[in-house]
Amino acid sequence: MKFTWAARSDTGRVRDHNEDATLPAAGTSGSGDHLVAAVADGMGGAAGGEIASTTAIATIAAVSGEVAIRIEAANLAVVEAAAQRPRLKGMGTTVTLGLFHTDGRLQIGHVGDSRAYLLRGGSLSQISTDHSFVGEMLTAGRMTEAEAEVHPYRSVLTRAVGLEPAVDIDVTNLVLAAGDRILLCSDGITAMLEDDEIQATLTTEAGPERAADALVTAANAAGGIDNISVVIVDAG
Ligand code: CA
């Protein structure tokens, strides 16, 4: 199987710096018979968010092995970086990581509220589960979508990479078919765009570069209140 991909990251229209990081690097695109792709959305004051997300992405790129091994290494790298600099204490990051294999297998590793989606046959489905307060309430049936969207704790994470020496990682395995499109994105997309808007954009835009640019443009047009990052991978 051949994968064609594009990665984009944008500060948005409100924040003054970008605490997201992507793999491959934002602004790049390409193709190949395998791929390691990820989105990380950092948090923490005093530049901590940027350091957490870039440290996690660099570690994921440098380590070999399955998603859990890479995310565990990223977790320890962020924990150690914070321990060395007290002003960075409490920094952390989401990680949504996809390992795309030449035989079509895709392994997703996920911590936090960035998301992985599959577009297949014009229909979008979310592969990851949000590790956020409202995400857990939704999953448990204790809150509606409408309540979740306006809840004051909607950005509070229940899991993150880099906070503690152990991290709980969701791992999902699927097999891709030709024509599938995978989206990894930070919440700068999903806070601004409904799933049906994301589906419409991913369905109409040909090629990952155009689709990635269109999603960033749409999130900014809807307000751009947060950093916006996407990695789009087409299987063919
Ligand atoms: Ca964010």
Q: 6 — alpha (psi -120 to 50), left (phi > 0) or beta?
A: beta
**Per the domain annotation, does 153 fall within a domain?**
no
Q: Name the domain count of the chain.
A: 1
**Per the domain annotation, does 144 fall within a domain?**
no
**Per the domain annotation, does 151 fall within a domain?**
no
Please tell me the distance between residue 96's alpha carbon and the centre of ligand 1 in angstroms: 13
Domain housing 228: 3-125+159-235
**Per the domain annotation, does 150 fall within a domain?**
no
pLDDT 10s digit of each residue in the chain, 236 long? 999 999 999 999 999 999 999 999 999 999 999 999 999 999 987 789 999 999 999 999 999 999 999 999 999 999 999 999 989 999 999 999 999 999 999 999 999 999 999 999 999 999 999 999 998 898 899 999 889 888 888 878 999 999 999 999 999 999 999 999 999 999 999 999 999 999 999 999 999 999 999 999 999 999 999 999 999 999 99
**Per the domain annotation, does 171 fall within a domain?**
yes
Please tell me the distance between residue 211's alpha carbon and the centre of ligand 1 in angstroms: 20
**Per the domain annotation, does 226 fall within a domain?**
yes
Please tell me the distance between residue 88's alpha carbon and the centre of ligand 1 in angstroms: 18
d(CA 54, CA 58): 6
Please tell me the distance between residue 231's alpha carbon and the centre of ligand 1 in angstroms: 15
∠ CA 189-194-200 to the nearest 5 degrees?
95
Contact 201, 215 (CB under 8 A): yes
**Per the domain annotation, does 73 fall within a domain?**
yes
Computed from CA positions of residues 149, 13, 110, 163, in that sequence, does the dihedral angle turn out positive or negative? negative
Residue 103 to residues 5, 29, 34, 233: CA-CA distances in angstroms? 17, 21, 9, 15
Please tell me the distance between residue 42's alpha carbon and the centre of ligand 1 in angstroms: 7
**Per the domain annotation, does 145 fall within a domain?**
no
Please tell me the distance between residue 216's alpha carbon and the centre of ligand 1 in angstroms: 13
Predicted pLDDT at 150: 86
With b for 16 or more beta-carbon neighbours within 10 A and e for fewer, the 142-177 pattern comes to ebeeeebeebeebeebebbbbbeeebebbeeebebe
For residue 116, give every residue at least 6 positions away whose Cβ sits within 8 Å of its Cβ, in sequence order, or none.
96, 98, 108, 110, 126, 127, 128, 172, 182, 183, 184
Please tell me the distance between residue 178's alpha carbon and the centre of ligand 1 in angstroms: 31
Please tell me the distance between residue 236's alpha carbon and the centre of ligand 1 in angstroms: 30
Query: Which is nearest to 22 in space by CA: 8, 43, 42?
Result: 8
Read off the CATH number of the domain in which 85 is found: 3.60.40.10
pTM of the model: 0.96
